[in-house]
Amino acid sequence: MNSCETDRDSIGSWLDGELSPSQSEAVQSHVATCGACAETRRQLEKIDRTLKTSLDAEAVRVDFLPFWREVQSRINRKRSPIEQLVDWGRDILTAPRVTWAIPAVIIVLIGILSLDAYLPGWKFGAARNSFAAVDSIDAHGSSVALLRENETKTTVIWLYQDEEGENDAAADESAKSGPTF
Amino acid sequence: MMLLPTNLRNRVLLFSLLAFAAGTTVLAAEKNPQSVQVTIGTILVSNQNDDFDPKLKSMEKQLRVLKYRSYRLLKNDTQNVPWQGNKVFEIPGGRSLTVAPQEFQNNRIALKVRLTEREKPLLDTTVTVPNKGNFLYVGGPPHEGGNLVLSISAAAQ
Amino acid sequence: MELTDSELVQKCQAGEMSAFQELVSRYHQKVYMVILGLLRHREDALEVAQETFFRAFRKINSFQGGSSFYTWLYRIAVNMAIDAQRRQKRNPLDFRENMDDLLEAQNEVAQDPFSDVHDRELRESLVKAINELTPEHKAVIVLRTIEGLSYKDIGEILGCSEGTVMSRLHYARKKLQDKLSAYL
């Protein structure tokens, strides 16, 4: 971008009085000698003037007393409970608070979902008390039984073993005393 | 609702993204746990007398399925077992139970379990238990006039 | 001796309704002009302007004096106007009728022997061109043009930096220049 384009882009800020004194002087000097930039200045001033005139024309139509009466009636009017709730919400949820409230709510929600990691036994949502499942069993030649009981959701693998080093009577008793599924 | 100025709106979005990222990291950590806490309860069941150990209250309904008259908790062991690793739990009568976590999916933990007696394998089984949920029971080894029942539960860490 | 805005605000906060009335008297036309510049609909602008003062009254105790009263007031006004603008669901016919009213009113005021067709066409085109800007660009143009507010004040009102105000103004003016080149 050349220096003329740079100055032309700064004309708006110059007219607004927002440039530093040195920048302002540089732009002013350039506009005085550059036809294109002088034309830009003229156009911007005309836009500003036209916009201000058009809105000024409207503003003078607004009489104070009727305006004030309407504002007063809003102030004095009894607000419905819903309007009061909305007003309260607006007062509490100012923009800076919303900046913190929204991520805080997200963190709290995620925390609740993760709560059972910190409170053993606490369960969120549907109970997780489902069955233990058995995928494979190898009893190395011994007898084995698999029990599932629906009401209590119990899963039992029962290994039938003979007692070692006990007399026959005790061994028989032991074998008979397996669970009665 | 008042429109948020652009920079404040961007700040809300940024903080929300950070909060979401932080929160999902916590959840993701749970979904990809580092280890499994395995708890083995050793219970002596018999018909020698009528008593129910109060320490077994939480599993009473399930144990009663076995229809014994007496239930006594001998020991309760908890160990952290790394994924693809294993830990050995000592069981009375010269026995041991080796537990090796295999997989964590849909909030259930797959375990390889081996029951050994004096170095001889008695039982090899692959089971899936709910994370921090229901027990699996392995019973049968005779002991002191009754039988041992091992309760197995697991919690992803 | 005329009280300053800060003094009037303090009196409002102490419960003096007459002080608030004086503030409304000082700013009602300016607030209306800013809102009309954004909404381009007379009745809506009036309604939003009145609601702005009602909100300001409700929140007067929260005004700490960190900014000037008028930037605080304009912030309420601009936010409400932008909200109203996004909710504005005027069908094109309603919009067209209202625009014609507005333009007619402007022409009435400007109607003098020296006002020419060219100026009228410029005003009509300017109104339409402003309306095609985004709410954020419209807001900077209106606040700067009507109120002559500094970039710092505009930034405070809109919640953005001075640099953002400058770039939005530059963009808006370029757009208006392009659209109105035939009339400028």
- Looking at residue C111, its pLDDT comes to 45
Q: B90 to chain A nearest CA, in Å?
A: 18
Q: CB contact, 8 Å: C79 with chain B?
A: yes
On whether the pTM is more than 0.90, the answer is no
Calpha distance B114→B99 (Å, rounded)? 7
Mean pLDDT across A100-104? 79
Q: Please indicate, yes or no, whether residues A8 and A53 belong to a single structural domain of this protein.
A: yes
Q: Please indicate, yes or no, whether residues A47 and A8 belong to a single structural domain of this protein.
A: yes
Counting as contact any 3 or more CB pairs under 8 A, the partners of A are B, C
Taking Cα atoms as reference points, which of B136, B106, B142 lies closest to residue A128?
B106
Mutate to test the interface with A, among C28, C131, C179 (most CBs of A within 10 A): C28
Question: With pLDDT > 70 as the criterion, what percentage of chain B qualifies?
Answer: 87
What residues make up the domain containing A173? 130-181
Encoded tokens for A97:
């608070």
Encoded tokens for B105:
């999916």
Number of separate helices (H) and strands (E) present in chain B: 2, 9
**B128 close to B121: Cβ distance less than 8 angstroms:** no
In-domain check, residue A65: no
Q: Please indicate, yes or no, whether residues A141 and A121 belong to a single structural domain of this protein.
A: no
Q: Please indicate, yes or no, whether residues A17 and A52 belong to a single structural domain of this protein.
A: yes
What is the count of structural domains for chain A?
3
- Looking at residue B98, its pLDDT comes to 96
Give the number of other Cβ atoms within 10 Å of residue B15's Cβ: 18
In-domain check, residue A72: no
CA angle in degrees (0–180, nearest 5) for A150-A152-A155? 70
Q: Model ipTM? A: 0.81
CA angle in degrees (0–180, nearest 5) for C105-C42-A83? 170
Dump pLDDT digits (tens) for B42-71: 999 999 889 999 999 999 999 999 999 999
Which residue is closest to B7 within chain C, CA to CA?
C160
Calpha distance A46→C136 (Å, rounded)? 22
- Looking at residue B79, its pLDDT comes to 94
Q: C47 to chain A nearest CA, in Å?
A: 9
Q: C154 to chain B nearest CA, in Å?
A: 12
- Looking at residue B32, its pLDDT comes to 58
- Output B141 or A92, whichever has higher pLDDT: B141
Q: Is the pLDDT of residue A102 over 70?
A: yes
Domain edges within chain C: 1-89
Dump pLDDT digits (tens) for B124-155: 999 999 999 889 999 999 999 999 999 999 99
- Looking at residue C182, its pLDDT comes to 84
Cβ separation of B3 and C86 shorter than 8 Å? yes
Identity of the highest mean pLDDT range in A70-74, A98-102, B96-100: B96-100
Q: Is the pLDDT of residue C179 over 70?
A: yes
Q: Please indicate, yes or no, whether residues A136 and A179 belong to a single structural domain of this protein.
A: yes
Q: Is the pLDDT of residue B3 over 50?
A: no
CATH fold of the domain at C1-89: Rna Polymerase Sigma Factor; Chain: A (1.10.1740)
Cβ separation of C159 and B7 shorter than 8 Å? yes
In-domain check, residue A70: no
Mean pLDDT across C27-34? 92
- The DSSP line for C86-152 is HH----HHHHHHHHHHHHHHHHHHH-STT--HHHHHHHHHHHHHHHTS-HHHHHHHHHHHHH---HH
Cβ separation of C146 and A55 shorter than 8 Å? yes
Contact pairs from chain A to chain B, CB under 8 Å: 169
- Looking at residue A60, its pLDDT comes to 79
Dump pLDDT digits (tens) for C64-110: 877 889 999 999 999 899 888 777 655 444 444 455 555 555 555 44
- Looking at residue A119, its pLDDT comes to 59
Q: CB contact, 8 Å: A86 with chain B?
A: no
Mean pLDDT across A130-159? 92
Spell out which residues of chain A touch residue B3, defining contact as CB-CB under 8 Å.
Answer: none
